A and B are shown apart, each in its own frame.
Chain A
Amino acid sequence: MSYFFQIVVSGMVVGSIYALAALGLVLVYKSSRVANFAHGQIIAAGAFITFYLTTTVGIPIFFSFLASMVITFFLAMSVERIFLRRLIGEPIISVIMVTIGLASIIDGLIYLTPFGTENFSFPPFLPQDPLSLGGVSISWTQLVGMIITFIMIGGFSWFFKKSTVGISMRAVSDDQFGSMSVGISVPRVFGLAWATAGLSAAAAGCIIGNITGLNFDTLHAFGIVVFPVVILGGLDSILGAVVAGIIMGLIQQFASGYLDGNWGLNGTGDVMPYVILLIILLFKPHGLFGIHEIERV
Chain B
Amino acid sequence: MENNLLEVNNIEVVYNDIIQVLRGVSLNVPKGSIVSLLGTNGAGKTTTLRAISGLLKPENGAIKEGYIKFDGKDTTQLLGTDIVKLGSVMVPEGRRVFKHLTVNENIIVGSITRKDGSKKIKEDNELMYKHFPRLSKVTNRMAGYSSGGEQQMIAIARALMASPKMLMLDEPSLGLAPLLVKEIFENIQRINRELDTTILVVEQNAKVALSISDYAYIMESGKIVLEGPSDELQNNPDVKEFYMGITKGGGRKSFKDVKSYKRRKRWM
Residues of A close to B83: CB separation below 8 A: 183
Residues of B close to A109: CB separation below 8 A: none
Q: How far is the CB of B250 from chain A (nearest CB, A)?
A: 39
Q: Are the C-beta atoms of B96 and A181 separated by less than 8 Å?
A: yes
Q: Are the C-beta atoms of A177 and B92 separated by less than 8 Å?
A: yes
Indicate if B241 sits at the interface (CB-CB under 8 A).
Answer: no
A294–B141 Cα distance when bound, in Å, is: 13
Residues of A close to B161: CB separation below 8 A: 182
- Cross-chain pair count, CB within 8 angstroms: 85
Q: Are the C-beta atoms of B162 and A182 separated by less than 8 Å?
A: yes
Q: Which stretch from B18-26, B27-35, B99-107 is at the chain A interface?
A: B99-107
Q: Are the C-beta atoms of B92 and A181 separated by less than 8 Å?
A: yes
Residues of B close to A39: CB separation below 8 A: none
Choose among B92, B97, B100 the residue with the greatest number of A CB atoms under 10 Å from its CB: B100
Residues of A close to B105: CB separation below 8 A: 167, 170-171
Interface string of B57-99 (1 = CB under 8 A from A): 0100000000000000000000011011100011110001111
B100 partner, pick from A165, A185, A294, beta carbons under 8 A: A294
Q: Are the C-beta atoms of A175 and B58 separated by less than 8 Å?
A: no
A182 partner, pick from B58, B100, B112, beta carbons under 8 A: B112
Indicate if B159 sits at the interface (CB-CB under 8 A).
Answer: yes
A171–B100 Cα distance when bound, in Å, is: 8
CB-based nearest B residue for A173:
B100
Number of interface residues of A (CB under 8 A): 22
A interface majority secondary structure: helix
- Would A165 and B55 be within 8 Å (CB), given that A183-B85, A294-B142 are in contact? no
Q: Chain B: interface residue count, which band?
A: 20 to 34
A183–B96 Cα distance when bound, in Å, is: 14
Q: Are the C-beta atoms of B89 and A184 separated by less than 8 Å?
A: no
Indicate if A270 sits at the interface (CB-CB under 8 A).
Answer: no
Q: Are the C-beta atoms of B108 and A164 separated by less than 8 Å?
A: yes
A242–B244 Cα distance when bound, in Å, is: 58
Choose among A89, A176, A180, A294 the residue with the greatest number of B CB atoms under 10 Å from its CB: A180
Indicate if B144 sits at the interface (CB-CB under 8 A).
Answer: yes
Q: Are the C-beta atoms of A167 and B100 separated by less than 8 Å?
A: no
A165–B113 Cα distance when bound, in Å, is: 10
A185–B100 Cα distance when bound, in Å, is: 19
Residues of B close to A164: CB separation below 8 A: 108-109, 111-112
A184 partner, pick from B81, B92, B142, B144, beta carbons under 8 A: B81
Residues of B close to A182: CB separation below 8 A: 84, 89, 109-110, 112-113, 158-159, 161-162
Q: Are the C-beta atoms of A168 and B58 separated by less than 8 Å?
A: no
Residues of A close to B100: CB separation below 8 A: 170, 174, 291, 294
Indicate if B197 sits at the interface (CB-CB under 8 A).
Answer: no
Q: Are the C-beta atoms of A168 and B112 separated by less than 8 Å?
A: yes
CB-based nearest B residue for A169:
B109
Indicate if B204 sits at the interface (CB-CB under 8 A).
Answer: no
A164–B111 Cα distance when bound, in Å, is: 8
A178–B91 Cα distance when bound, in Å, is: 8
Q: How far is the CB of A201 from chain B (nearest CB, A)?
A: 25
A171–B142 Cα distance when bound, in Å, is: 12
CB-based nearest B residue for A294:
B144
A178–B97 Cα distance when bound, in Å, is: 7
Q: Are the C-beta atoms of B113 and A183 separated by less than 8 Å?
A: yes
Query: Would you mind naming 25 contact pairs between A and B with Cβ atoms under 8 Å apart?
Result: A167-B101, A167-B108, A167-B109, A171-B98, A171-B105, A171-B106, A175-B97, A175-B99, A177-B55, A178-B98, A180-B58, A180-B80, A181-B80, A181-B96, A182-B159, A182-B162, A183-B80, A183-B81, A183-B84, A183-B89, A183-B112, A185-B81, A294-B144, A294-B145, A296-B145
Q: A174-B98, A294-B100, A296-B145 are in contact. List 11 more A-B contacts (CB 8 A).
A: A164-B112, A167-B109, A175-B96, A178-B96, A178-B98, A180-B58, A180-B80, A181-B89, A181-B92, A181-B96, A184-B112
Interface residues of A (CB under 8 A from B): 89, 164-165, 167-168, 170-171, 174-185, 291, 294, 296
Nearest 8 interchain pairs by C-beta: A183-B84, A294-B144, A178-B96, A174-B98, A183-B113, A185-B81, A180-B80, A294-B99
